Amino acid sequence: MQIRQFGHRFEAARMALLACFVILVPGIFAPLAHAQIELPGIEVPAEPADPEPVIEAQAISPTDQDIEQRIAGIFNEIDALKDVRIRVDAGVVAMTGDVPTIADADRAESIAARVTGVVTVENALERNLDVADNLQPVTDKLKNNLQKFLNILPLLGIALAIFILFWLLGRVLSRLTGLWRGTAPNMFMAELMATSIRIIFVIIGLIIALDVLQATALMGAILGGAGVLGLAIGFAIRDTVDNYISSIMLSIRQPFRANDHVVIGSREGHVIRLTSRATILMTLDGNHLRIPNSTVFKAEILNYSTNPERRFDFELGIDAADDPLAAMNIGLEALRRLSFVLDEPDASARLEQVGDSNIVISFFGWIDQGHSDFFKARSIAIRAVMNILDAEGFGLPEPIYRLRFDSGAPLEIARSPKDEGTGAGAEGKPTHKAPQPDLAMEDVSRENDIGKKVAEERATADEEDILDEARPIE
């Protein structure tokens, strides 16, 4: 009996628990049913969201009257289009009336075509040829420009004052010749530096003035155009630019002095002056020779005046049967006895060549160009050595002709007056020595005719000269 009662109680409890589970489980798992749970490797499709409601606006098409009022309102705000008459029918705009210019008619058509609802535009506008109406825009424009000019006058005056101030400042600095001469290596470079300073200050003043006027874009256009123009001009006058740069380099290097005896390339003469464009020489025959500085700068320059000591040389031939060493010693003794030949460096001689009928010997001697004329000294030296060799019995070479006769009587050889006077023997050599001249009495003083002409030319001519005696010769 008790067991049966316990079984009924257990069954009642089991039924109560089942009822609680049925009631509580849907409430717990209901939110999870709507949640999106992501599991590794498993994609759970999302439920489609409910579509948002769409707000539709009703489109309202403008009427012909609305289009006409809209276009008329726009035209009333434009002075040139105030007199245009407008009529709209089924979206077609018809325009009539007069406008100042054809461009205004095209402008009216473009404006009307952009209004909503316009299908097409019939443009029947004509240009107004009335004198007063056509002159009115021009006079209005002139008045506006004049008013703008009057308004900008204060700024323009300030800009002009700034430009003049910098121009005057550059001019004052460029005239400080003492400053530039002390800084630059020569007068030509001093003038170049002064000119550059003046141009730089002018450019700075112009830039500041344009900046005050808010016209720096104009300055950029000017500089750009000047750059292109300068490039074109540079190609056109490249020879002139090359010559000018060569003048600058020559003024710095100073390769010669005034009245120097020089050889520039193949041209020889005495320097008159060096200008910013050319080097002017006086040739040995007294003519003016102008050589572009670009040619002078690139050419080989031989300056005879830099070193006062100069060597002269000449060649003499003796008979092939004579002793060349004895002839060299005798000739050197004659050279050393000449008063204008320097002892240091000493005179010298060398054997040049040996031919079939003669031997050629070269003699060398040194002179001081400050006291002796080169050409006079060389001429006297040649005569002195030639006379001493002839006096010592050395045969100087003469033309030899060999005649051959196949038949006939033998010819008698006529003796020359020279052979008879000297008593030449069978070997053709003189039997006595010729008297030796007094070599110390020869005149070798310098001929300064070209130097005098150069001095006169430099004293009378007004042309610039950039040669500087204070600078060393390079």
Two structure tokens written together for 8 = 């009924």
Residues forming beta bridges with residue 125, ordered by sequence position: 97
Residue 315's CB: how many other CB atoms inside 10 A? 11
All structural domains of the chain, each given as residue ranges with its CATH number in brackets, are 64-129 (3.30.1340.30), 136-236 (no CATH), 242-305+452-460 (2.30.30.60), 309-441 (3.30.70.100)
Two structure tokens written together for 158 = 């300030």
Q: Which has more confidence, 411 or 101?
A: 101
Predicted pLDDT at 226 = 67
Residue 430's CB: how many other CB atoms inside 10 A? 19
Give long-range contacts, CB 8 A cutoff, 24+ apart: 426-434.
Answer: 428/395, 429/393, 429/395, 430/393, 433/391, 433/392, 433/393, 434/387, 434/390, 434/391
**Are 282 and 272 within 8 A, CB to CB?**
yes
Find the farthest-apart pair of alpha carbons in the chain and give their distance in angstroms, rounded.
Answer: 203
Q: Which has more confidence, 440 or 300?
A: 300
Q: Answer yes or no: is pLDDT of 448 > 90.
A: no
> How sure is the predictor about 35, in pLDDT bands with cuts at 50, 70 and 90?
very low
What b-and-e string marks burial along 183-208, b requiring 16 or more CB atoms within 10 Å of the CB?
ebebbbbbbbbbeebbeebbebbbbe
Q: Which has more confidence, 241 or 264?
A: 264
Of 71, 106, 104, 110, the residue nearest 87 (C-alpha): 71
What b-and-e string marks burial along 45-57, b requiring 16 or more CB atoms within 10 Å of the CB?
eeeeeeeeeeeee
> How sure is the predictor about 62, in pLDDT bands with cuts at 50, 70 and 90?
confident
Least confident of 55-69, 290-304, 372-386: 55-69
Q: Answer yes or no: is pLDDT of 58 > 90.
A: no
Q: What is the mean pLDDT of residues 214-230?
A: 70
**Are 271 and 257 within 8 A, CB to CB?**
yes
Q: Whole-angstrom Cα distance, residue 336 to residue 381?
A: 10
> How sure is the predictor about 13, in pLDDT bands with cuts at 50, 70 and 90?
low
Q: What is the mean pLDDT of residues 258-272?
A: 91
